């Protein structure tokens, strides 16, 4: 440490000049966008990263010649920010709540209209006698992190070939719906689907064609399901459909609609025109069922009956 630095750090602590330069260095190099607003709603400080994160162009706000909003009301900045978030009403309500309640701190994630995600921290500034001086806002772009997390969830929950839910996620959701059905006394149905003559497709045309059949079939089924339904690949050519708030009659009708729609016209697969057919077993959760496995067992038995009866059909088990 050189003598000038030692002098600045000597005595009762760093000099005011050293402190101001340190604060400026932190502001300028921080990955966070920083905004400081005083108790009267005036901008005390902000760094360039704040403007960059929010895509705020100083000239559009008629900022000062130095490109800052320091000394101005925070209202124009707030209007620019609110215009960029996906849920402006909720965002603005929370900001006002924080300003009105100095005892509150904040940590949340904000979804923007341009598909980015910002992490927000906010805390209060208090004086020597604990008086409220203002509030500091910190913003950081965590889009890459959120996208990475979403990709990991996708891998953990979905079948890599078809993009449908995988076996593990299906049972996780099925158990949740089982408990919900019990709690609220709502119906719950399950359909098990098995592609007819799938081994023949693999043997005659190859496994690559078989994979294309599974992808095409799952896509056609997904397009016909409700948003609340869940399609999962739980075996090689076996799929399951979880249908919350659906009784046996409605589930059987849905399964039959899927079967007819898919079978009625040939589908292009790997340069071939194939008629895709499946057998399905459908059942509804019963009062005496101890777990979702009891329901699945009946659906499997119904599907086996459909196979035994000649395939390309739906069997319901009450």
The arithmetic mean of pLDDT across residues 172-181, rounded, is 96
Q: Which of 65-69, 84-88, 167-171, 256-260 has the lowest mean pLDDT?
A: 65-69
User: Backbone phi, then psi, for 278, in 5-degree steps?
Assistant: -145, 165
If we measure between CA atoms, which residue out of 86, 34, 77, 32 comes closest to residue 57?
A: 77
From the candidates 177, 212, 237, 315, give the one annotated as an active-site residue: 237
Sequence-distant (6+) residues with CB within 8 A of 276 are: 195, 213, 216, 217, 220, 262, 263, 267
Instruction: Decide if 237 is catalytic.
Output: yes
Using one digit for the tens of pLDDT, what is the confidence trace for 200-245?
A: 999 999 999 999 999 999 999 999 999 999 999 999 999 999 999 9
Mode of pairing for the β-strands spanning 314-317 and 278-284: parallel
For 26-69, the pLDDT digits (tens) are 777 788 999 999 999 999 989 989 999 999 988 777 676 667 88
Can you give the pTM of this predicted structure? Answer: 0.68
**How many Å apart are CA 238 and CA 236, to the nearest integer?**
6
Can you read off the two tokens belonging to residue 192? Answer: 């098990």
The alpha carbon of residue 5 and the mean position of all alpha carbons in its chain are separated, in whole angstroms, by 50
- Alpha-carbon distance of 158 to 144, in angstroms, equals 21
Q: In this predicted model, which residue has the larger pLDDT, 267 or 65?
A: 267
């Amino acid at each position: 440490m050189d003598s000038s630095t030692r002098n600045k750090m000597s005595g009762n602590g760093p000099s005011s000049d050293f402190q101001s330069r340190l604060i400026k260095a932190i502001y300028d190099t921080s990955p966070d966008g920083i905004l400081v607003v005083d108790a009267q709603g005036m901008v005390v400080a902000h760094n360039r990263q704040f403007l960059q994160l929010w895509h705020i162009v100083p000239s559009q706000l008629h900022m000062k010649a130095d490109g800052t909003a320091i000394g101005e009301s925070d209202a124009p900045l707030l209007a620019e920010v609110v215009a960029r978030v996906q849920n402006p009403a909720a965002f603005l309500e929370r900001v006002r709540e924080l300003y009105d309640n100095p005892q509150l701190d904040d940590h949340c994630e904000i979804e923007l209209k341009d598909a980015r995600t910002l992490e927000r921290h906010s805390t209060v500034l208090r004086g020597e006698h604990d008086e409220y001086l203002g509030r500091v806002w910190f913003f950081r772009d965590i889009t890459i992190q959120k996208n990475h997390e979403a990709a990991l969830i996708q891998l953990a929950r979905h079948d890599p070939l078809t993009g449908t839910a995988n076996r593990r996620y299906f049972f996780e959701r099925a158990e949740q719906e089982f408990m919900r059905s019990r709690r609220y006394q709502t119906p719950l149905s399950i359909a098990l689907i098995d592609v007819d003559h799938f081994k023949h497709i693999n043997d005659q045309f190859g496994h690559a064609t078989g994979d294309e059949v599974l992808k095409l079939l799952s896509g056609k089924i997904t397009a016909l399901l409700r948003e609340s339904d869940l399609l999962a690949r739980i075996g090689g050519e076996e799929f399951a459909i979880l249908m919350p708030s659906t009784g046996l009659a409605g589930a059987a009708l849905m399964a039959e609609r899927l079967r007819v729609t898919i079978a009625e016209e040939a589908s292009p697969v790997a340069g071939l025109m194939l008629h895709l057919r499946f057998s399905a077993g459908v059942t509804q959760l019963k009062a005496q069922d101890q777990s979702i496995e009891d329901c699945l067992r009946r659906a499997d038995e119904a599907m086996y009956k459909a196979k035994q009866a000649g395939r390309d059909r739906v069997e319901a088990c009450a």
